[in-house]
Structure formats: C-alpha cells, structure tokens
Amino acid sequence: MEGDSLDDDLEALLSSPKSESPEAASTTPSISEQEFFCHCCYDVLVNPTTLTCGHSFCRHCLALWWESSRKNECPECREKWEGFPKVNILLRDATNKLFSSVVQQRRTEIQANPKLSRSLLAFQRYGDNLGRSKSKQSRGAGIFFSGVLTALSCVAVMVLVFHWSAGVDDQHDPLISKAVSRWTPEEVLSWLDQLGTWAQLYREPFQQENVNGRLLLMLGEEELLKPPFNVENQAHRRAVLAELDRIKLLGVKPPQNLWEYKEANAGKSLFLLYSLKRSPRLTLFYLYLFDYTETFLPFLHTCCPALTPAERSESIFLHTQLEPSLGQWTEFLLKYLLLPYQLIAEFAWDWLAVHYWTSRFVIVNTVLLSLLEGCALWRLWVGAEIRSLPNKMWSHVWKMLSQGFAFAVLWPFIPQFVCNCLFYWALYLSPIINIDLVVRHLMHPETQAL
C-alpha cells in the first residue's frame, strides 16, 4: 500500500503542469532524496530496477549482486524474483527529473568503471539467454544435442536390456581371463601374433612344435636360443621373455588394448574414464601411486617416447617396463601440469591404427575439455578471482576424493552389463555434451558460472 501511494504521488508530481498555481503547489507532497536511495549503495537510484517483491535497486548494484552470488533473489529480503528484472521506467523518469545532476554524475562514474560495465553486460546477456531459451524452446543447438543424446540413450537402454536378457558375454579376447596353463596351441599363436609384426618370424616353429600353454610357461632363454625356435635376435628374445614373465606373474594374458583392459577391469576402466574427464591430474597421480608398472609406465612411454618408431616396433612390450629417462620425466611433468588432456590425446593417437573411431572420439573429447578448462581459467582471470583458485582446487580435490572413494566401494556390486553401458555412453556421448558446453562458453563467456 505504501509503495502504491508513492507511485501515485510520483505520477501527480510528474504530470502537474508548470503553470500550476501556488495554492496547488503547496498541496503537492514533498519528497526527499532519501526516498529514492538504493538500499545497496545508499545513493540516488540510477536505472532503477524493481523486483517482483517490490524492492528497487540500481541496475548495476543488482548486476554486481547477481554476479557475486549467482542467485536470483532480492538483496534485501532474499525473495526469489521471477523472469528477468526490467528497469522501472516511471521511477527512472522521476529520478532523472528530480535529481538530474546527481544521476548524470553517477552515470558518468558507472560508465568509466570497467568492472561495473562488465557486470552489466554479463547481467544483460544472462537475461538475453533466459529470454531466448523461453522463446525458442524448439530451436538451437542445445535441443539438437538433447535429441541426439535421448535417441542414443534409448538405443543404449535397448542394448542393455538385450544383453541382460540374453546373457551375452561380450569378451573380445578370452585369453585375458583364461589361465595360461589351459591355453590351446591356437591361442598360443594368437598371443604370439599380438607381440608385434616381428613375432611373425617365429610363428612357424611354435606351430610345428604344437606349443600349448603349459609348454609356453616352461620356455626360457636357453630354450629360445636352441632349435627349433632359434630366436637369435637379442631384442626379440628379451621381448618374448619379458612377456613370458608377465603372463607367468599374472596367470593370464595382460590386456593390450582398450577393449581388453575394459573386459579385465570393468569397474576400474569406468572409474578411470570418469576421473580422466573430471580430474586428469589426480587420476594420473593415482596411477603413479597404485598402478605404476601395469598402467602408468606404458602410458608415460607412449605419450613421451624415448625411442624412435623403428626401435619401438621391435621392443614395444619391453621398453614400456623400463624406467623413464630424465628427459621423459621433464616432458611428462610439463604436460601434466599445463596440458593434461594432451597426454590423453597422444595416448589415443598412438592407438589410432587399432581403434580408428574410438581414438578419434577420445582425441576430440580431449580438445573440447582443454577448451573448457581454458575458459574456466580465463573467467577467473578476467573476473579478478584468480586468488580464489587455491580454494577451488582444494574443493575440487576433496570432491573427487570423496566421489572416487564412494565409486570404488560401490563398483564391485554393479553388474557387468551396467558397467558396459555406462562405459560406452561416457566414451561416445561425452563429446556431444562437451560441444554444447564449449559453444555456450565461447558465445557468452561472462554468463557462465564458475
């Protein structure tokens, strides 16, 4: 009621003719300057913006409040506003006429302040995006991506139901779970072929001797040197012996590619896929601490190789077990700190000939994630919030540790087909989601929440 009476008084004051008689002027209510103060800056309102709760503030004050809190609520009563606040034209005209000199001076100061100008621009773009999302609900890239994700998710659910009902075992290589002692001669030859093109030289002796899993475990350096194997090349012999030591230690064939690793470590592969996206630095540090030989060393040697491609083709399984040189560590640490996603892209690039489309999906996703990380750092720098980076990093570390612990505890109870569904969904659909995020960040960087 009080606000309505004030608006009526303003209308009467603004609409009163200049030739009004002294008697009529004396009946006009006197309005003090304090009644037009903003409750944020306690100065005369400039571009007054009225919220749904009835309170009015300077537009730049409201923009600063929204930018700092990221909440659509009144700074005074904390009531949430609906829609996007607009300038109160009647109140703006009143302040312009009654306090023209003060308002003009304040506008000049606001325009000269880059922080206020940036906040106003971000606030206005937020309103534009809000209006665009309401008026064009059936248009835009976001709807396209949502449709694609919905369709692909439905397909994934159908595949999930099929695997569940049919009990299909989607193992790509049974050797990763079958004990070496029970390997057939054909499986031994398959294992030998996967060592590299150079191993084709010794395929015929293994085939003629009908070497099965038990005989394979009995082979040593002396047997490889003698007929019928005649592995005289020292590098080849060391590579075969190193691989024999690995299968003797594990009891099965170690995973050699993405699919075999996923089949052998369903929950761990899903955990790594999630963590590499959310926090690649913490994930690689985890691999260094707890999976140094089997995962970290091959990853480092692949991303920061010390050997030429010709040398690696002959001893690819042997050199991945060697300790990295100082140059490799230096290159790895620089990329680890500055460009962690580049390490993942280089690892995927090395498997491009084996996994054509999968490697491309991974590489595209790493480029998009690098852009998103760069946009986040740029917003911190532009918003003069770079000092808050340590707090944000600590919050991120704590979040990742708590989620990772919960994930590690729960994943053994998740059925295999659910792990497969989540794995493929995250691997192939994440780039589609990240494309939409990158477009939003690049088009309107000021409106994105940190």
pLDDT at 404 over 80: no
State the chain's mean pLDDT as an integer: 77
Query: From CA 239, how far away is CA 8, in angstroms rounded?
Result: 92
- The secondary structure element, H or E, covering residue 55 is none
Residue 334's pLDDT is 92
Q: Give the pLDDT confidence score for residue 333 in this predicted structure.
A: 93
Burial class (CB in 10 A: 0-12, 13-18, 19+), 235: middle
Checking if the pLDDT of 21 tops 50, the result is no
Per-residue pLDDT, 321? 62
The confidence band for 35, taking pLDDT boundaries of 50, 70 and 90, is confident
> Residue 435's pLDDT is what?
83
List of domains in the chain: 35-124 (3.30.40.10), 180-250 (1.10.150.50), 258-309+318-447 (no CATH)
Where residue 18 falls among pLDDT bands split at 50, 70, 90? very low
The mean pLDDT of 328-346, rounded to a whole number, is 90
Structure token pair of residue 105: 């001076």
Residue 447 pLDDT: 44
Spatial neighbors of 288 by CB under 8 A, at least 6 apart, are: 296
Residues facing residue 48 across a β-bridge: 58
Pick from 67-76, 152-161, 271-280: least confident:
152-161
How far, in Å, CA of 73 to CA of 373, rounded? 29
What are the two backbone dihedrals, phi and then psi, of residue 80, each rounded to the nearest 5 degrees? -70, 140
pLDDT band at 20 (very low <50, low <70, confident <90, very high): very low
What is the predicted pLDDT for the residue at 172?
Answer: 57
d(CA 80, CA 66) in angstroms, rounded, equals 12
In the predicted model, is pLDDT for residue 250 greater than 50? yes
- 162-212 pLDDT, tens digit per residue, is 656 655 444 456 788 788 888 999 989 988 888 888 888 888 989 998 999
pLDDT at position 313: 46
More confident residue, 16 or 427: 427
pLDDT value for 378: 81
Nearest to 100 by CA among 26, 147, 44: 44
Of the ranges 271-275, 333-337, 375-379, which is most confident? 333-337
> pLDDT at position 161, please?
67
Could you give the CA distance from residue 430 to residue 278 in angstroms, rounded to a whole number? 12
Which residue in 277, 278, 445, 279 sits closest to 375, CA to CA?
A: 445
The two structure tokens encoding residue 185: 């001669």
Is the peptide bond between 254 and the residue preceding it cis, with omega within 30 degrees of 0?
A: no
User: pLDDT digits over 253-280, tens only?
Assistant: 877 766 777 777 777 777 777 788 888 8
Distance CA 384, CA 85 (A): 26
pLDDT at 240 over 70: yes
The 3-class secondary structure across 293-349, one letter per residue, is HHHHHHHHHHHCCCCCHHHHHHCHHHHCCCCCCHHHHHHHHHHHHHCHHHHHHHHHH
- Residue 292 DSSP code: I
